[in-house]
Amino acid sequence: MKPAVLITKRIYPEAVDLLRSRFEVDYEATDDGMTAEQLRERIRGKQGVVSQLTDKFTRDVLATLEGIRVIANVAVGFDNVDVAAATEAGILVTNTPDVLTDTTADLAFALMLAAARRLVEGHHFVHSGEWKKWAIDLLVGQDVHHRTLGIVGLGRIGQAVARRAGGFSMRILYSDAFRASEQAERELKAEFVPLERLLGESDFVSIHVPLSAATRRLIGAEQLRLMKPTAILVNTSRGPVVDEGALAEALRGGVIGGAGLDVFEQEPKVHPGLLNQPRAVLAPHIGSASVETRRKMSMMAAENALAALEGRRPPNLLNPEAWERRSEKTA
């Protein structure tokens, strides 16, 4: 009998076709998420799941899944899956790194430029017909070039942002749990500093850490107070890394100068203090949303699921321990 796969939400059709060519596929082309109960129900009798960041595979959910061999997440982030619990349950977990690095870095830069140069305010000003004359200080913003950029998390996406910043002749500071190699620091002209110093010296702070217990609310009221009153905070990582209430308050009180946000604590809800805040440029979690990248992410997840269900090690495996344990059993 062919293995059965659940695709939880809409993905690019070629990825669905690939899975259908080898497996029984349960797929509804919908963007609606599933509750834990619905997820459990639909997964029953399947061996693989192609999931998205809105599907929550908590320890409790994972404990009830029988026969599942792989969860192939269509995202680089995997905070929606308790990977330790999946490993214990012998479930392989995969993600879609690399293909979205440059696309996400582009959006971080777009948010930085838009917030600094008040692009969204300008857009509304023109569309609403308010623009009547040119004035010397009409919508004056901040320069990005030759300013200091603080990158929190110099992983793949953080490095891609640093490369773009080089083109804008920016000074680059970074903080991270681990220091980058000397070669990377030299190439990117990035200086490793403690987070407090980065916050105090940067004109722009761009966040690129994964969400974990250590990074949840990494930026709260205390950290925002360390920033310059003109500084702009950009977040394209995960919403809960920033305390949204504290950020709304900091923008309202002029503690910092602006924000460019693609991610939120409780998507698709946005803190009311950020809505209608002219200094906050907001996007609906579209960091990796180019046609090419989202198509590649869909295909990568399908290929990961395919490999796992055909007994091959998936290319983007997050928990090799689960694979090794499985190989020991079959040896």
- Does 77 interact with ligand DGY (rule: CB under 6 A)? yes
Catalytic position from the list 265, 285, 294, 303:
285
Instruction: Single out the segment in contact with ligand DGY by CB under 6 A; choices: 19-27, 74-82, 156-164, 251-259.
Output: 74-82
CA 72 to chain centroid, in Å, comes to 16
Find, among 177, 194, 174, 169, the residue nearest to 185 by Cα. 174
Catalytic position from the list 118, 238, 271, 294:
238
Terminal CA-to-CA distance of the chain, rounded, Å? Answer: 23
The residue from 34, 68, 75, 247 that contacts ligand DGY (CB under 6 A) is 75
The residue from 288, 304, 316, 319 that contacts ligand DGY (CB under 6 A) is 288
The residue from 287, 309, 316, 318 that contacts ligand DGY (CB under 6 A) is 287
The residue from 62, 76, 195, 302 that contacts ligand DGY (CB under 6 A) is 76
Q: How far is Cα 199 from Cα 203, in angstroms, rounded to an integer? A: 9
Find, among 272, 264, 209, 269, the residue nearest to 240 by Cα. 264
Q: Reply yes or no on whether 238 is catalytic.
A: yes
Q: Please say whether the beta carbons of 53 and 301 come within 8 A.
A: no
Contacts of 95 (CB under 8 A, 6+ apart): 73, 75, 76, 77, 78, 316, 318
The residue from 99, 100, 218, 301 that contacts ligand DGY (CB under 6 A) is 100
Place of tokens 């059993």: 329
Query: By rule CB under 6 A, what string of x and - marks binding of each residue 184-223 to ligand DGY?
Result: ----------------------------------------
Comparing CB distances to ligand DGY, the nearer of 75 and 261 is 75
From residue 318, alpha-carbon distances to 8, 77, 184, 279, 323 in Å are 20, 11, 24, 38, 10
- How are beta strands 258-261 and 4-7 bridged, if at all? unpaired
Q: C-beta of 288: minimal distance to ligand DGY in Å?
A: 4
Catalytic position from the list 14, 37, 267, 310:
267
Q: C-beta of 329: minimal distance to ligand DGY in Å?
A: 31
Query: By rule CB under 6 A, what string of x and - marks binding of each residue 234-253 to ligand DGY?
Result: --------------------
- Does 47 interact with ligand DGY (rule: CB under 6 A)? no
Comparing CB distances to ligand DGY, the nearer of 75 and 227 is 75
Q: Give buried/exposed letters for 183-217 (b at 16+ CB in 10 A, else e).
A: eebeebebbebebeebbbbbbbbbbbbebeeebee
Residues that bind ligand DGY (CB under 6 A): 53, 75-77, 100, 287-288
Name the residues annotated as catalytic.
238, 267, 285
